[in-house]
Amino acid sequence: MISSMGHIMKKPKELKVKPIKNGTVIDHITANKSLNVLNILGLPSEKIKVTVAMNMQSSHMGSKDIVKIENRELESSEVDQIALIAPKATINIVRDYEIVGKGKVHLLNEVKGLLDCPNPNCITNALEPVVNRFYVIEKEPVILRCHYCERIMEEEEIESQF
Ligand code: CTP
Ligand code: ZN
Protein backbone atom coordinates (compact mmCIF):
# COMPACT_ATOMS: atom_id res chain seq x y z
CA MET A 1 0.00 0.00 0.00
CA ILE A 2 1.15 3.53 -0.71
CA SER A 3 0.27 5.97 2.04
CA SER A 4 -0.80 9.45 1.17
CA MET A 5 1.76 12.23 1.51
CA GLY A 6 -1.03 14.51 2.58
CA HIS A 7 -0.95 17.01 -0.25
CA ILE A 8 -2.15 17.30 -3.80
CA MET A 9 0.62 17.92 -6.33
CA LYS A 10 0.10 20.83 -8.66
CA LYS A 11 0.90 20.28 -12.29
CA PRO A 12 4.37 21.76 -12.91
CA LYS A 13 4.53 24.44 -15.57
CA GLU A 14 7.65 22.96 -17.12
CA LEU A 15 9.82 20.00 -16.24
CA LYS A 16 13.21 19.92 -17.89
CA VAL A 17 16.39 17.99 -17.33
CA LYS A 18 18.67 20.15 -15.21
CA PRO A 19 21.89 21.59 -16.69
CA ILE A 20 25.12 20.37 -15.13
CA LYS A 21 27.99 22.49 -13.81
CA ASN A 22 30.97 20.36 -14.89
CA GLY A 23 31.20 17.11 -16.79
CA THR A 24 30.01 15.46 -19.99
CA VAL A 25 26.64 15.43 -21.71
CA ILE A 26 26.14 12.63 -24.24
CA ASP A 27 23.25 13.80 -26.38
CA HIS A 28 21.45 12.32 -29.43
CA ILE A 29 21.86 8.74 -28.20
CA THR A 30 19.69 6.30 -30.17
CA ALA A 31 16.40 6.02 -28.25
CA ASN A 32 16.47 3.41 -25.46
CA LYS A 33 20.22 2.76 -25.76
CA SER A 34 21.31 4.88 -22.80
CA LEU A 35 21.66 1.84 -20.52
CA ASN A 36 24.18 0.35 -22.98
CA VAL A 37 26.06 3.66 -22.85
CA LEU A 38 26.12 3.49 -19.04
CA ASN A 39 27.54 -0.04 -19.23
CA ILE A 40 30.28 1.12 -21.59
CA LEU A 41 31.21 3.84 -19.10
CA GLY A 42 31.18 1.49 -16.10
CA LEU A 43 28.26 3.35 -14.57
CA PRO A 44 26.58 3.52 -12.15
CA SER A 45 29.59 3.99 -9.96
CA GLU A 46 29.84 5.16 -6.39
CA LYS A 47 29.59 8.93 -5.96
CA ILE A 48 29.33 9.76 -9.66
CA LYS A 49 26.19 11.78 -10.35
CA VAL A 50 24.43 10.64 -13.51
CA THR A 51 21.24 11.87 -15.13
CA VAL A 52 19.57 9.65 -17.71
CA ALA A 53 16.71 10.77 -19.94
CA MET A 54 15.05 8.24 -22.24
CA ASN A 55 12.80 8.76 -25.24
CA MET A 56 13.11 12.54 -25.25
CA GLN A 57 11.70 14.44 -28.19
CA SER A 58 14.25 15.34 -30.84
CA SER A 59 13.61 17.44 -33.92
CA HIS A 60 15.88 15.44 -36.24
CA MET A 61 15.81 11.99 -34.57
CA GLY A 62 12.17 11.66 -33.50
CA SER A 63 13.24 10.47 -30.07
CA LYS A 64 16.59 10.16 -28.32
CA ASP A 65 18.25 9.41 -25.01
CA ILE A 66 20.57 11.74 -23.08
CA VAL A 67 23.18 10.87 -20.43
CA LYS A 68 24.75 13.57 -18.24
CA ILE A 69 27.75 12.68 -16.11
CA GLU A 70 29.08 15.13 -13.57
CA ASN A 71 32.82 15.67 -13.15
CA ARG A 72 33.87 13.06 -15.65
CA GLU A 73 35.32 13.12 -19.17
CA LEU A 74 35.37 10.20 -21.59
CA GLU A 75 38.27 8.10 -22.82
CA SER A 76 38.66 7.64 -26.56
CA SER A 77 38.00 3.88 -26.34
CA GLU A 78 34.72 4.66 -24.57
CA VAL A 79 33.75 7.10 -27.34
CA ASP A 80 34.59 4.44 -29.96
CA GLN A 81 32.35 1.91 -28.21
CA ILE A 82 29.50 4.43 -27.97
CA ALA A 83 29.80 4.94 -31.75
CA LEU A 84 28.94 1.25 -32.22
CA ILE A 85 25.56 1.54 -30.51
CA ALA A 86 24.68 5.23 -30.89
CA PRO A 87 26.14 6.48 -34.20
CA LYS A 88 24.51 9.92 -33.93
CA ALA A 89 25.66 10.66 -30.38
CA THR A 90 27.21 14.04 -29.62
CA ILE A 91 29.67 14.56 -26.78
CA ASN A 92 29.47 17.91 -25.00
CA ILE A 93 32.11 18.95 -22.47
CA VAL A 94 30.70 21.30 -19.83
CA ARG A 95 32.80 23.57 -17.61
CA ASP A 96 31.20 26.03 -15.25
CA TYR A 97 27.82 25.51 -16.97
CA GLU A 98 29.21 26.43 -20.41
CA ILE A 99 29.75 24.02 -23.32
CA VAL A 100 33.50 24.24 -23.97
CA GLY A 101 33.71 21.35 -26.43
CA LYS A 102 31.30 19.58 -28.76
CA GLY A 103 32.07 16.56 -30.88
CA LYS A 104 30.38 13.70 -32.69
CA VAL A 105 31.20 10.05 -32.25
CA HIS A 106 32.81 8.55 -35.31
CA LEU A 107 32.91 4.95 -36.44
CA LEU A 108 36.18 4.08 -38.19
CA ASN A 109 36.47 1.41 -40.89
CA GLU A 110 38.14 -0.92 -38.45
CA VAL A 111 37.28 -1.71 -34.83
CA LYS A 112 40.14 -3.07 -32.71
CA GLY A 113 40.16 -4.33 -29.14
CA LEU A 114 36.60 -3.27 -28.36
CA LEU A 115 34.43 -6.35 -28.93
CA ASP A 116 34.64 -10.12 -28.54
CA CYS A 117 34.16 -12.31 -31.59
CA PRO A 118 31.11 -14.56 -31.04
CA ASN A 119 32.82 -17.51 -32.76
CA PRO A 120 34.20 -19.71 -29.95
CA ASN A 121 36.76 -21.18 -32.38
CA CYS A 122 38.07 -17.78 -33.43
CA ILE A 123 41.77 -17.27 -32.68
CA THR A 124 40.81 -14.16 -30.67
CA ASN A 125 39.09 -16.51 -28.19
CA ALA A 126 42.03 -18.91 -27.83
CA LEU A 127 43.91 -19.49 -24.56
CA GLU A 128 46.54 -16.98 -25.57
CA PRO A 129 44.25 -14.62 -27.37
CA VAL A 130 45.01 -12.30 -30.24
CA VAL A 131 43.46 -8.81 -29.98
CA ASN A 132 40.04 -8.81 -31.64
CA ARG A 133 39.69 -6.92 -34.90
CA PHE A 134 36.66 -6.29 -37.11
CA TYR A 135 35.96 -4.54 -40.39
CA VAL A 136 32.98 -2.22 -40.55
CA ILE A 137 30.88 -3.56 -43.44
CA GLU A 138 27.85 -1.36 -42.80
CA LYS A 139 27.58 1.74 -40.59
CA GLU A 140 23.85 2.16 -39.94
CA PRO A 141 22.85 -0.36 -38.75
CA VAL A 142 26.33 -1.53 -37.87
CA ILE A 143 27.53 -4.79 -39.42
CA LEU A 144 31.04 -6.04 -38.65
CA ARG A 145 33.19 -8.85 -39.99
CA CYS A 146 35.91 -10.51 -37.95
CA HIS A 147 39.34 -10.04 -39.53
CA TYR A 148 40.42 -13.53 -38.42
CA CYS A 149 37.45 -15.87 -38.85
CA GLU A 150 35.18 -13.71 -41.07
CA ARG A 151 32.27 -14.20 -38.67
CA ILE A 152 29.63 -11.52 -39.33
CA MET A 153 28.33 -9.65 -36.31
CA GLU A 154 25.15 -7.59 -36.46
CA GLU A 155 23.57 -4.99 -34.18
CA GLU A 156 21.91 -7.33 -31.71
CA GLU A 157 25.10 -9.27 -30.99
CA ILE A 158 27.09 -6.04 -30.70
CA GLU A 159 24.62 -4.50 -28.26
CA SER A 160 24.49 -7.64 -26.14
CA GLN A 161 28.20 -7.10 -25.29
CA PHE A 162 27.46 -3.81 -23.54
N1 CTP B 1 23.72 20.88 -21.17
C2 CTP B 1 23.74 20.56 -19.82
N3 CTP B 1 24.34 21.39 -18.93
C4 CTP B 1 24.89 22.55 -19.33
C5 CTP B 1 24.89 22.89 -20.70
C6 CTP B 1 24.27 22.03 -21.61
O7 CTP B 1 23.24 19.52 -19.43
N8 CTP B 1 25.44 23.36 -18.41
C9 CTP B 1 23.12 19.94 -22.14
C10 CTP B 1 21.89 20.45 -22.85
O11 CTP B 1 20.73 20.18 -22.08
C12 CTP B 1 21.90 19.63 -24.12
C13 CTP B 1 23.38 19.39 -24.38
O14 CTP B 1 24.05 19.65 -23.15
O15 CTP B 1 21.28 18.36 -23.92
C16 CTP B 1 23.93 20.26 -25.47
O17 CTP B 1 23.70 21.59 -25.15
P18 CTP B 1 23.58 22.74 -26.25
O19 CTP B 1 24.72 22.67 -27.19
O20 CTP B 1 23.30 24.02 -25.57
O21 CTP B 1 22.22 22.28 -26.95
P22 CTP B 1 21.87 22.22 -28.50
O23 CTP B 1 22.26 23.48 -29.17
O24 CTP B 1 20.45 21.80 -28.55
O25 CTP B 1 22.81 21.02 -28.96
P26 CTP B 1 23.01 20.46 -30.46
O27 CTP B 1 23.36 21.60 -31.32
O28 CTP B 1 24.16 19.48 -30.24
O29 CTP B 1 21.74 19.77 -30.82
ZN1 ZN C 1 36.49 -14.13 -35.16
- Give CA–CA dist 53/104, Å, rounded: 19
User: Closest Cα partner for 61 from 107, 30, 32, 17?
Assistant: 30
Report pLDDT digits (tens) over 15-55.
678 999 999 999 999 999 999 999 999 999 999 999 999 99
Q: Is 103 in the pocket of ligand 1 (CB under 6 A)?
A: no
Q: Find the ligand nearest to 95 CA.
A: 1
Instruction: For residue 35, report the distance from its CA to the centre of ligand 2, in Å.
Output: 26
CB 34 within 8 A of CB 67: yes
Q: Is 74 in the pocket of ligand 1 (CB under 6 A)?
A: no
Report pLDDT digits (tens) over 77-131.
999 999 999 999 999 999 999 999 999 999 999 999 999 999 999 999 999 889 9
Instruction: For residue 121, report the distance from its CA to the centre of ligand 2, in Å.
Output: 8
User: Closest Cα partner for 142 from 33, 65, 49, 56?
Assistant: 33
Q: Is 99 in the pocket of ligand 1 (CB under 6 A)?
A: yes
pLDDT at residue 8, rounded to an integer: 73
Domain boundaries, the chain: 23-104, 110-159
Q: Is 86 in the pocket of ligand 1 (CB under 6 A)?
A: no
- 23-104 and 110-159: same fold? no
User: CATH number of the domain at 23-104, please?
Assistant: 3.30.70.140
User: Closest Cα partner for 38 from 93, 6, 96, 85?
Assistant: 85
Q: Does domain 110-159 have CATH number 2.30.30.20?
A: yes
Is the pLDDT confidence value at 66 over 70? yes
